[in-house]
Amino acid sequence: MNLRQVVINSANADDAQLKHLYRTAFSIEEQIPYEDLIHLLDAMDIDYTAYYDGEVLVGLTIVLRLPRFNWAWYFAVREDLRGQGIGKTILNAWLDKYRDGHPFIMDIESPLQPDAPNPEQRRRRHAFYLRNGMKDTGTSRTWDGLTFTILTNSDEPFTQQDYDDIVAALRTVWKNMPGKE
C-alpha cells in the first residue's frame, strides 16, 4: 500500500467521506462538532491530514500543535480496513513527522475504566499504541463519564497540570470562536 497524505484545511474539510469517518470512528462524547472543528482549523495550529490509497480514503489524523506538545486529537482508520497494517503505517508516519523535539501526546479511552462498554477494544487499542512506540504516562482524566489514558512518545514526564494547561488553552479558543458563548 502506498499511502498518499492530503492536508485538510477549512477550504477542503467539508468533505462527505471525511465527515463520515470522523463521525463513525469516535463516540459522540469524544467528538468536537465537525462544523466547529472546521472553524478551529483557522483559529488554531491544527494539522488535519487525510490518508488515501489511490483515491480511497483510508484514515485521518488531527494534531493540535502547541508550544510544548504536539497533541494528537484524532486518529482513525476506516473500520472495514482495520487489521491490515494501515494504522501502523499511519502512526509511524505521524510519529516521524513530529520528531521535532516536542513530545507527542495523545489520549485514548482508558483500558482500566471498570464500567466501559468496550473494554476489549480499549485493551487492544492501548496495546497497539504501546507496541508502536507510545508510552503510558500514568495520567488520566474523566470527562462526562468517559475516562482517558494519556500516552506519549517521550521519556519526559507529562503531568496532570500539563493536561489541565492544554484544556485551559482550548477553552480560551473555544470561547472566542464565532457563535460560541
Q: What is the CATH number of the domain that holds 170?
A: 3.40.630.30
Is 101 contained in some domain? yes
Q: Is the pLDDT of residue 151 over 80?
A: yes
105: exposed, middle or buried (Cβ count in 10 Å: 0-12, 13-18, 19+)? buried
Q: pTM above 0.85?
A: yes
Any domain includes 180 = no
pLDDT above 90 (res 179):
no
Question: pLDDT tens-digit profile of 96-114?
Answer: 888 777 888 999 999 999 9
Which residues form the domain of 157? 3-175
| Count of domains for the chain | 1
In a domain, 167, yes or no: yes
In a domain, 17, yes or no: yes
* Lookup result for grid cell 507527542: 104
DSSP-based three-state secondary structure for 79:
helix
Residue type, 93: A
* Residue at 133 is within a domain: yes
